[in-house]
Structure 1
Amino acid sequence: MRKRYSNIEKLIKQIKGKNTKDQPQKFSNVDWQPFSTNINENEKTLKQQLGTSKDILFTKFTINLQNGDALNAMVVAIDGLIDEEAKRNNILKPLIAHPLQEKPNDDLKQIRERISVKKVTVVDNLLKAVYQVLKAKALLIVDGFNKGLLLSIEGYEVRSIEEPVTEQAVRGAREGFIESTGVNISLLRRRISHPSLRFETMEIGKYSQTGITMAYLKDIVDPDLVQRVKERLNEIKVDSIDSSGDIEQLIEDHPYSIFPTIGNTERTDKAAALLMEGRVLLLIDGNPVSLYVPNLFLESFQNVEDYNSRPYYSSFIRIMRFFAFIVSISLPALYITALNFNKALIPSDMIVPIIQARETVPFPLAMEVIMMILMFEVVREAGVRLPKQIGSALSIVGALILGDVSVSAGLVGAPTIVVVSISYIAAFVITPIADVTALVRIGLFIASSVFGSYGLCIASLALLTHMVSLTSLGVPYMAPFSPSHFKDWKDGLIRLPTKLLKQRPKSIPNGRSRRIKSLPDTGDKR
């Protein structure tokens, strides 16, 4: 029996990826290898590391000294990643045109003073220099010295700053993040011109070497939150990071939940506002979508444009978003509950038309509704994935044809089309959690179709219990409702006038609770 149980334990360990016989994989982003004082040996090592591709440039030249001696030198760079004009005018010409007065010291100070680039870094690790060359740096090597110079002359093409397609606003900024972290940092600097704004960059991924920049306001953010984010990022040991979604799923508290506990945005004004509340922002190099923590469920119903409009209409729209969320997830479930289990809930004037509409339908009601839900999901997904011109036409015409032909052929009842259509249209109001809404809708519908109103109530309570148990980097996901922070409710379901929002939300840990110190006396005329 003991042998049998040991085999079972071994199988479980293999499934979990914890087989003790497996050799642990060593992740080392940068190994150590010193420069040689012989420039030819350095060139040979670099070619072994980088290969002999046509885009790898080895530019050799000579640096003359006033005493008549000459030093062989070489600039290593990747074509297309650096600015060739800056390389020629700011590095090669200053070193070739005028002889150096004396031989450079060990730190190549005389050469560093002669060239003019954004940043010059002395490096003594050849393999580290290789990784930096692959990140759009140029490497200057001089014969006889066991150190090199990393030069910042990036010159690759970047996309122009545009308004994010998925977060458009009628009244607001028209700029969004792009794929360049340097540009994104400058956009945040323009919005928050304070020395408390800090950026910390680390590289994750053995092969991708993806730059992850953590942004926060030192005077406002909770230091414990910053530390938790740092620890989780430092614990990531993977081969590559392909998108912001990889980081999101690797550091969140509940990776198996359908609810996103880490937020994302492409808008610079929204990102700046989040930083001012005490959030931590993550900028991923090569990706225009930034992540932020903590993220609350309430924020799915808020929009950056709410703060650019009058508070009354903004409050009305927020209430409508909550109502649309409830309708979207529960309407199909209520429909099948009323028809199959609790017909007394249906008004008497509507019973006869609904029964007549379903007389020719050959399928049970549950099958009819789930077929339409899945078909609407197919049409929506096709509209998203197809080219814009075709996708918009398909999402409109396809849905109309699908509904009209299905009813005419007697495959689906008209009330079912109306119920499913309203459910999907309501989901368009809350696009940040549209995927969550689709899954919850199906879950509640299945529970209702099997157990009726009892199943709907139990499934709803289970969903609410799950949501209350979620956290976003240690911050309760359902705050300010659970736990209750009543002062935060003035910017929750409704939005009170800006004058009354003097305190930062208590739902978000921060080190500076007051954000409005004084306001002009306008007499508060009502």
Structure 2
Amino acid sequence: MIKKFRRKLSIHHIKQNQESQETPLQEDLQANVTTVRSHFGFTSDLAVRTFWLGANQSHQASLLFLKGMTNQDVMDRDVIRPLMNTIGDLHEGMVDHIMNAVLHVSMAWKESTLEKTLEQLARGYIVLFIHNQAQCIIIGAKSLGQRSVEEPSKEAVIRGPREGFIETIDTNLSLIRKRYHNPNLQIETYWIGTQSDTRVCLAYVRGVVKEELVDEVRKRLSVIKMDAILDSGYIEQWIEDEPFSIFPTIYNSEKPDILVAKILEGRVAILVDGSPVALMVPATFQEFFQNPEDYYSRPFYASFLRLLRYAAFFVSAFLPSLYISFENFHKDLVPPTLLFSFINAREGVPFPLPIELLLMAIVYEWLREAGVRMPRPIGQAVSIVGALVIGEAAVSAGLVGAPTVIVIAASAITSFIFPAISDVVVILRFVSIFVASVLGLYGNFLVFYMVAIYLCDLRSFGVPYLAPLAPLKLQDWKDFFIRFPLWLIKLSSGGSPSSLKKQKGERS
């Protein structure tokens, strides 16, 4: 705590020193233009447009902008043309007159320091310098290329909204506002990164979220000290509770409907400019087994699928190690017919069963990584055909047994059911294989108990990670293993987990 306070204090002193060392703009037009160009290193994409103001050409002015980041039509039509055709005396209150009566743009403000001017120019704004004026006008006419709003490939649904976040934070905020028309939705903006100065926004619902949670998120953001924030993953690694945990304590999604549902439960969302992935805190283990489609369809089949997801987690993580345990240590627990099938299938295989499973698991991870990194049309063929060809060839050559291929394939396929924690399952799979190869079934139980104890102790922004299982809160079980009808969930828990709800009498 003392270290965090010292870091915040040092950052505060740095900001104060920076404010005290701000350089004022000069009245000479050419001096200002030369100074700005020198700070940008005379880069070729910095354009300067010099012209005369008004019909009487009484004052000279210059527009500075970065090519490719400015809307040329808006600049020509609503900035340059009005400035060159304006009529009247521009000596008294020239800057205010231009902002209030000449420019045809919605965003325009004055700056009088060089540092603020350079910052806004780097963000894509237009800077207007006027001769004999020791201040400039910042004009908003940005035009940044962006991809269209489309369905996220990792969170596809059959029924439900298909819009996903993109890399532009203003568009992402509009997608949130589109779904939640309420003034209680609060957006707070921060600029993080000593070099990149990246825009980071907090989104939460006033009156629903706990103020202690919002204060904790603000405090953790305030201690981030990096040169650049290029993605929300940078923020996640700075603010998570357990940096060395294999289990994620921060939920992430690319769908605005999921984000709105989370903040209505009392969570805080974090959006980063340049990243389509939004973060939501706190997070619990059960959320990674929930699908947004569970709430858009009727509860019966949705509950059945949710139970299958929980079962798939154990199959993906522990099926290879269980196969080792029953094959090598506990043959008496396997039906004789099945045991003879396993023995006959592995006859002539030169490797011990643990080595055989490890080799197949590693080969599968190679194929999956190749399929992800290669171009999409080729990657699909590599991942599917490669697995079939290599598996069939390995069995035919007698390098591995057919049951080994089946076990690895089953554990690999089930890991795709919960992509948000697929990396956790892979780590648990390899760990359980190593332990089971030494201790057998007792090793499986040992790994499972250690993971369960660790999860019981894990927290996400003060919320127990295994809630509502540990601690036990039966009122929240209506959206845990199975999903009750929405009207019953709403009546019983107010639509949010009890660990996140504001209690009666708590200050809003």
TM-score class normalised by the smaller sequence: over 0.9
**What is residue 495 of structure 2 aligned with on the other side?**
504
Q: Is the 8 A contact 1:479 1:507 kept in 2?
A: no
* Aligned ranges 1:136-155 → 2 under 5 Å: 136-155=124-143
Between the aligned partners of 2:23 and 2:251, the Cα distance in structure 1 is: 41
**Structure 1 residues 221 and 100 mapped into 2: Cα distance closer, same or farther (>3 Å)?**
farther
Q: Does 1:221 find its partner at 2:213? A: no
Structure 1 residues 90-105: aligned runs within 5 Å: 90-105=78-93
Q: Which whole-Å deviations, capped at 9, do the CAs of 1:354-400 have from their partners, x for residues lacking one?
A: 11222201111111111111111111111111111111112211111
Judge which range, 119-128 or 486-495, deviates more: 119-128
Instruction: Name the counterpart of 2:52.
Output: 62
Question: C-alpha displacement at 1:239, in angstroms?
Answer: 0.8
What secondary structure is seen at the aligned counterpart in 2 of 1:499? helix
2:30 corresponds to 1:40: yes
| Superposition deviation, residue 64 in structure 1 | 3.5
- Counterparts in 2 of 1:252-263, with a 5 A limit? 252-263=240-251
1:9 aligns with: none
Q: Measure the CA separation in 1 of the matches of 2:65 and 2:498.
A: 49
Shift of residue 419, structure 1, vs aligned partner: 1.4
After superposition, give the CA deviation of every residue in 1:239-288 in whole Å (9 maximum; x if it has no partner).
11122211111111111111111111111111111121111111111111
Amino acid at match of 2:76: R
Task: Give the counterpart of 2:433 among 433, 437, 445.
Answer: 445
2:145 aligned residue: 157
Deviates more, 1:499-508 or 1:332-341: 499-508
Displacement of 1:304 in angstroms is 0.5
Which residue of structure 2 aligns with residue 470 of structure 1?
458
For 2:256, the equivalent position in structure 1 comes to 268
CA–CA separation in structure 2 for the residues paired with 1:314 and 1:512: 30
* 2:385 counterpart SS class: helix
Deviation for aligned residue 1:507? 4.6
Among candidates 293, 298, 302, match of residue 286 of structure 2: 298
Residue aligned with 1:170, SS: coil
Matched AA of 2:26: S
CA displacement at 1:69 relative to structure 2: 7.4
Other-structure match for 2:98: 111
SS at 1:33's partner residue? coil
In the alignment, the residues of structure 2 paired with residue 77 and residue 283 of structure 1 have an alpha-carbon distance, to the nearest angstrom, of 27
Q: Indicate conservation of the 8 Å contact 1:379/1:399, yes or no.
A: yes
2:116 maps to 1:128 = yes
CA distance in 2, matches of 1:84, 1:291: 35
Tell whether the 8 Å contact from 2:65 to 2:121 is kept in structure 1 after alignment. yes
Residue identity over aligned pairs, in percent, reads 38
CA contact (8 A) 2:268 2:281 kept: yes
Deviation at 1:102, TM superposition (A): 4.5
Equivalent residue number for residue 3 of structure 2: none
Separation in 2, partners of 1:349, 1:250: 54
Matches within 5 A, 1:13-92: 32-64=22-54, 70-92=58-80
Contact 2:99 2:109 in 1 (8 A): no
Structure 1 letter corresponding to 2:39: Q
Contact 2:169/2:274 (CA < 8 Å) preserved in 1? yes
Q: Which deviations, in whole Å up to 9, do the C-alpha atoms of 1:377-428 show, x marking residues without a partner?
A: 1111111111111111122111111211111111111111111111111212
Q: Quick one: which amino acid aligns to residue 49 of structure 2?
A: T
Distance 2:413 2:495 in 1: 34
Change (3 A) 1:100 1:475: farther
Distance 1:208 1:305 in 2: 37
In the alignment, what sits opposite 1:405? 393
The equivalent residue for 2:4 is: none
Q: Which runs of 4+ in 1 moved over 4 A?
A: 26-31
Q: TM-score, normalised by structure 2?
A: 0.92
Secondary structure of the equivalent of 1:57?
Answer: strand
Residue 27 of structure 1 contacts residue 206 of structure 1 at CA under 8 Å; is this kept in 2? no
2:442 to 411, 433, 454: 454
Q: What's 1:14 paired with? A: none
Q: Which moved more, 1:498-507 or 1:371-380?
A: 498-507
Partner SS for 1:349: helix
Aligned-residue offset at 1:512: 7.6
Amino acid at match of 1:506: P
User: Residue 37 of structure 2 contacts residue 43 of structure 2 at CA under 8 Å; is this kept in 1?
Assistant: no
1:479 maps to which of 458, 462, 467: 467
CA drift of 1:27 comes to 6.6
Q: Please state how far the C-alpha of 1:201 moved relative to its aligned partner.
A: 1.3
Q: Aligned letter for 2:35?
A: T
- Contact 1:279/1:508, CA 8 A, preserved across alignment: no
Paired amino acid for 1:51: G
Q: Distance in 1 between matches of 2:415 and 2:277?
A: 22
User: Cα offset for 1:104?
Assistant: 4.0
Counterpart residue identity of residue 187, structure 1 = L
* Root-mean-square deviation (Å): 1.9
Unpaired runs of at least 5, structure 2: 1-10
Equivalent-residue separation in structure 1 for 2:471 and 2:88 (angstroms): 69
Residue number in structure 2 paired with 1:368? 356
State the shift of 1:194 in Å: 0.8
| Structure 1 unaligned spans of 5+ | 1-23, 514-526
Given the alignment, which residue of 206, 212, 236 partners 2:200?
212
